[in-house]
Amino acid sequence: MTTHPLVADLVTAFKTEGRIVIVGASLAGLRAAEALREEGFHGSLTIIGDEPHEPYDRPPLSKQVLKGWVPADHTKLPRVRPVEADWRLGVAATGLDRANRQVLLADGDKVGYDRLLIATGTRARPWFNAEEGALDGVFTLRTCDDAARLQAALRAHPARVLVVGSGFIGSEMASVCCDLGLPVTVAERSDAPLVGPLGGVIGEIAADMQRDAGVDLRTGVSVEALDRDADGHVRRARLSDGTTLDVDVVVASLGSIRNVEWLEGADLATGFWGVGCDAGCRAFDINGVVTDNIFVAGDIARAPHVLYGYQFLSLEHWDNAVSGAEVAAHNMVSLETQRRPHLPLPSFWSGQFGINIKGVGVCSFGDEIVFTQGSVEDRRFAAAYGRRGRIVGAVTFDHGKWLPYYAAMIERSAPFPPPPPGYDQPKDARPVPARFRDPRVPTELPDVVLTGHDPTSRGAEFRPTKR
Ligand code: FAD
């Protein structure tokens, strides 16, 4: 397609003289900045981050850092290429003035932009009772400072650790406690760990893994209150089944909250699930009209996905932050006809209880599951998820080398159950219900959230509940 020279000149001029501001100086922010320079953007680039640290990696925080293998301040993200930019670290963006194209900062400064990337991610959901949450010995885990504090508490050999919530991060923390020889209780409101992202069938396997490793796993219960001693340290947890537990350390692993507050009043499509954007990472305004100069990437983005019925997906996965940042950066400095869609096949991983769990697709979009390879007893298997006769996701336990096989089928919407790969066939390869929760009864939230407008879709509405 030929482009009018005037339009092409505008893009070229923008690449030389334009001003881009990125808010959020973490994985998505850094990778977008690198990609912008890679795309030939030579204009001014400002990166604003409320944390004082250079961009660092979060996945090791709940794994190697908690184990004490790596200091919490040693997970800086490797730089793919040098980035010439004005780094404004340790200062939060507090507002967005779209009319004047300015980001307002907590220190009173204003930074002008021609194009803006929103990459402010999420934060840990705090304990529901602020007074209890402030007690010594009560933690959440999102930042490297959180990890440093929690690791120090674990190093002090607490008599018992209580992890509240057993999604991926809660389960990883319980696993670390076992590795460190610490007595650990996990309290989970669902009937098994990992039910949100992987359903009850896999949850049962995860529960067995935890119990075999020595975790005191309590399911179907919530923690209703935390009691303190005279020094303001947490000492006891009261559970909904009437039991109490003596504890020294409590880690609330209750999911995350998207950092959208600074956008209040900016009339963008912001809300509980993040910032709505199109598949090209352009933010929607409050009326659902796409903006042309504001882009979104990473955990905070919420975009429709062609493979999943055009439902809006909010993905909290490392790979999604990287690929979203790269597409957003490309589209920020490209002619309209050269823009790319961000339609990643979601993928995730987790290491816990000696097992490498990997997944691809959106498992929670499925309602059936079939074990396709390996052996559940040996905890070395692959399983596929299906919905309405097509494969939508897959998970592997110590069987990750097969993921590309399933990814290719998901990408072409292959039939479910998928044909057996002819290798390592399990004893029983019949599909069964995957046992995801009823989305209208929120407990902990899955790390992939489907929020379409179909009233039967999962994750329809958030109603805050006490755990
Ligand atoms: P974030 O990393 O959340 O970064 C957003 C940044 O913006 C933060 O620095 C935040 O402080 C800053 N910010 C927020 N508001 C403002 C503001 N108003 N002004 C300025 N700055 C602001 N994913 C996997 O796929 N596999 C894993 O094994 C895995 N393990 C994880 C373990 C832990 C403990 C955690 C916390 C996450 C893990 N993840 C994992 C998820 C992965 O780390 C995230 O998907 C990724 O960090 C998202 O990057 P992001 O840049 O979008 O958001």
Write out residues with Cβ below 6 Å of ligand 1.
Answer: 23-29, 48-51, 58-59, 61-62, 92-93, 119-122, 141-142, 169, 259, 262, 298-299, 316-318, 321, 348-350
Q: Provide φ and ψ at 215, rounded to 5°.
A: -70, 135
d(CA 235, CA 461): 35
CA-closest residue to ligand 1 atom 46: 318
Q: For residue 131, which of 221, 232, 222, 252 has the smallest C-alpha distance?
A: 232
pLDDT at residue 151, rounded to an integer:
98
Q: How confident is the model at residue 467 (pLDDT cuts 50, 70, 90)?
A: very low
Q: For residue 254, which of 342, 447, 125 has the smallest C-alpha distance?
A: 125
CA-closest residue to ligand 1 atom 30: 59
Centre of ligand 1 from the C-alpha of residue 27, in Å? 7
Give the least confident one: 55-59, 150-154, 242-246, 416-420: 416-420
| 18-42: pLDDT as tens digits | 999 999 999 999 999 999 999 999 9
Centre of ligand 1 from the C-alpha of residue 314, in Å? 13
pTM of the model: 0.93
| 198-244: pLDDT as tens digits | 999 999 999 999 999 999 999 999 999 999 999 999 999 999 999 99
pLDDT at residue 450, rounded to an integer:
55
pLDDT at residue 6, rounded to an integer:
75
| Burial class of residue 133, CB neighbours in 10 A (0-12, 13-18, 19+) | middle
| 372-400: pLDDT as tens digits | 999 999 999 999 999 999 999 999 999 99
d(CA 247, CA 239): 12
d(CA 261, CA 258): 8
pLDDT at residue 428, rounded to an integer:
82
Centre of ligand 1 from the C-alpha of residue 299, in Å? 7
CA-closest residue to ligand 1 atom 29: 59
d(CA 393, CA 358): 11
pLDDT at residue 225, rounded to an integer:
98
Parallel/antiparallel/unpaired status of strands 380-387 and 19-23: unpaired
pLDDT of 443 strictly over 60: no
Parallel/antiparallel/unpaired status of strands 256-258 and 122-124: antiparallel
Q: How confident is the model at residue 61 (pLDDT cuts 50, 70, 90)?
A: very high
CA-closest residue to ligand 1 atom 42: 318
pLDDT at residue 460, rounded to an integer:
34
| Contacting residues for 264 by C-beta, under 8 A, at least 6 apart | 95, 270
| Secondary structure of the chain in HEC code, one letter for each residue | CCCCHHHHHHHHHHHHHCEEEEECCCHHHHHHHHHHHHCCCCCEEEEEECCCCCCECCHHHHCHHHHCCCCHHHCECCCCCCCCCEEEECCCEEEEECCCCEEEECCCCEEECCEEEECCCEEECCCCCHHHHCCECEECCCCHHHHHHHHHHHHCCCCCEEEECCCHHHHHHHHHHHHCCCCEEEEECCCCCCHHHHHHHHHHHHHHHHHHCCCEEEECCCEEEEEECCCCEEEEEEECCCCEEECCEEEECCCEEECCHHHCCCCECEECCEEEECCCCEEEECCCCEEEEEEECHHHEEEECHHHCCCEEEECCHHHHHHHHHHHHHHHCCCHHHCCCCCCCCEEEEEECCEEEEEEECHHHCCEEEEEEEECCCCEEEEEEEECCEEEEEEEECCHHHHHHHHHHHHCCCECCCCCCCCCCCCCCCCEECCCCCCCCCCCCCCEEECCCCCCCCCCCCCCCCC
d(CA 453, CA 450): 10
User: CA Rg, the chain, in Å?
Assistant: 23
| 137-171: pLDDT as tens digits | 999 999 999 999 999 999 999 999 999 999 999 99
Q: Which atom of ligand 1 is nearest to the CA of 143?
A: 36
Probe residue for ligand 1, chosen from 21, 22, 27, 194 as the CB with the greatest number of ligand atoms within 8 Å: 27
CA-closest residue to ligand 1 atom 27: 59
> What is the residue-averaged pLDDT of the chain?
93
Taking each helix axis from N to C end, the angle separating 195-212 and 168-179, rounded to the nearest 10 degrees, works out to 10
Q: For residue 41, which of 296, 292, 329 has the smallest C-alpha distance?
A: 329
d(CA 23, CA 268): 15
* Average pLDDT for 276-296: 97
- Whose tokens are 């404004």? That residue is 88
pLDDT at residue 429, rounded to an integer:
83
* Average pLDDT for 302-307: 94
d(CA 371, CA 348): 19
| 243-267: pLDDT as tens digits | 999 999 999 999 999 999 999 999 9
pLDDT at residue 423, rounded to an integer:
78
Centre of ligand 1 from the C-alpha of residue 125, in Å? 13
Probe residue for ligand 1, chosen from 21, 70, 120, 256 as the CB with the greatest number of ligand atoms within 8 Å: 120
C-alpha distances (whole Å) from 140 to each of 79, 251, 345, 365 are 28, 6, 29, 28
Q: How confident is the model at residue 426 (pLDDT cuts 50, 70, 90)?
A: confident
